Amino acid sequence: MDTCEEKKNLLLEMIAYATIDGQLSKKGYDFLFLIANELNFEKGGFINLLGEELPSLSGNMKLIRIKQFYQLVVFFQNDGVLYKQDPELIIHIAISMGLDLEAIKILLKKVKNSPNSIIPDDVLLSIFQE
């Protein structure tokens, strides 16, 4: 995830997912602000995203949540360096998203062992359905 546009789209999807009845809770805002900081967005850039049109979230919400988490994991491992605090932060984020801890661990291993970090949607979903 090298481009600013990819990071922006990821954040917009996460904002859309966290927005309920047109409102973003304080907890949701704080969580997304933390993600925005990790993606090197300045506060003003993040606040501007909140005013943009959000993508529609049709389809399987669980798969959407899993794919968002997967994208975040790929971002963290994109440079090939996993800092000391990264695994703990990744797990905290996944649990906050309501994802299963054992499935998270399996996904982290698969991403680490995958030469290009690409895991198809059906495999992602199967990991979280086991």
Reply yes or no on whether the pLDDT at 59 is more than 60.
no
Q: pTM of the entire structure?
A: 0.55
pLDDT at 76 (0 to 100): 76
Q: What is the 3-state secondary structure (H, E, C) of the chain?
A: CCCHHHHHHHHHHHHHHHCECCECCHHHHHHHHHHHHHCCCCHHHHHHHHCCCCCCCCCCHHHHHHHHHHHHHHHHHCCCCCCCCHHHHHHHHHHHCCCCHHHHHHHHHHHHHCCCCCCCHHHHHHHHHC
Reply yes or no on whether the pLDDT at 58 is more than 70.
no
Tens digits of residue pLDDT in 75-103: 777 766 666 777 788 888 888 777 888 99
Mean pLDDT score across all residues of the chain? 81
Percent of the chain with pLDDT over 90: 1
Tens digits of residue pLDDT in 105-122: 898 888 878 767 788 888
